[in-house]
Amino acid sequence: MEALALERKQEQNRELRVRLEQLKKERNAIILAHYYQRDEIQEVADFRGDSFLLAQKAAETEADVIVFCGVHFMGESAKILAPNKTVLIPDERAGCPMADMVNVDGLRKLKAQHPNAKVVTYINSSAEIKAETDICCTSANAVKVIESLDAEEIIWVPDKNLGQYVQDQTGKKMIIWEGYCNTHDMLTVKDVMEMKAKYPEAEFVVHPECRPEVVAMGDYVGSTTSILEYCRKSDRRQFIVGTEDGTGYQLRLDSPDKEFHFATKFLVCPNMKVNNLKKLVKCLETMKPQIYVPPAVADKARTSLERMLQVR
């Protein structure tokens, strides 16, 4: 019975992929997928990437329609950078708990308390927060963004773990908001120690959204993209991976001869996983749900995103 169900699922996916290609041509659409998406989404994407790469692709594309397979703030960023494009998201319930941990009123109060501080906002945030921001960043360029600022004080929102890592790397005085990624923050020292005991030859690669004590255990610390690059180029054959399990698709694709063991089975973002191939096809058929950002908010937020893209 299981074999029959799998065969049916595979046939359904083949039909969905054919329909998807038709719709992409009809709509002049491009599909952007974050590395944390389901394998079936990453397989059909025009571009797979982290938040930084996908923001670049959204800003540069000549397509009329952008389907952003990620979470809501990513779709907002695409719409802000490409205001004349139609931006779709397969399931509008794909939110981000960390983005919800910071609010405009709280940020404005903090800005009033530190009037000379520059505000740096992790891209994992709402358009409204980006509109209150001097410059955005991703985990891929956070250190460079902070180092680019001529400011004695920096207000950092919303991820305290990444903020602590960046502060340690740069030595800058940072006022750090108390938000965090629910998924990455689950990983504990105990989890990593158990995996290191089980796979003593493996290197531990970890995302800086994890807790500081976990990050301190890393043989390599970096953004999703830099972890992928490091594992691809490394001579080592085994890795313990401390980031969301969707990255396994690209890791295995890049290095089929290497072993990747996720540091805990709980490194799964449920919000990223609500999108699937069926919903992707449906959103192009119906042209819903569309991402909308009020023009006044988008205009302010665009400045902070464009500044981010200029940092090299």
Q: Say which residue the tokens 């205001």 belong to.
A: 83
Q: In what order do the strands lie in the sheet with 47-49?
A: 47-49, 29-34, 65-69, 86-88
Cα separation of 200 and 239, whole Å? 10
Binding-site members are: 34, 51, 96, 122-124, 139, 181, 207-209, 224, 269
Token duo for residue 102: 């910071």
Q: Which amino acid is at 54?
A: L
| C-alpha torsion 34→40→41→42, nearest 10 | 50
Binding-site members for iminosuccinate are: 34, 51, 122-124, 139, 207-209, 224
List beta partners, residue 262.
241
Binding-site members for [4Fe-4S] cluster are: 96, 181, 269
Cα separation of 120 and 54, whole Å? 19
- Name the residue among 114, 95, 96 with its Cα closest to residue 106: 114
- Give the list of residues 6+ apart from residue 31 with CB closer than 8 angstroms, or none: 20, 24, 44, 45, 46, 47, 67, 69, 280
Nearest 5°: CA angle at 118, between 74 and 308? Answer: 35
- Give the list of residues 6+ apart from residue 100 with CB closer than 8 angstroms, or none: 126
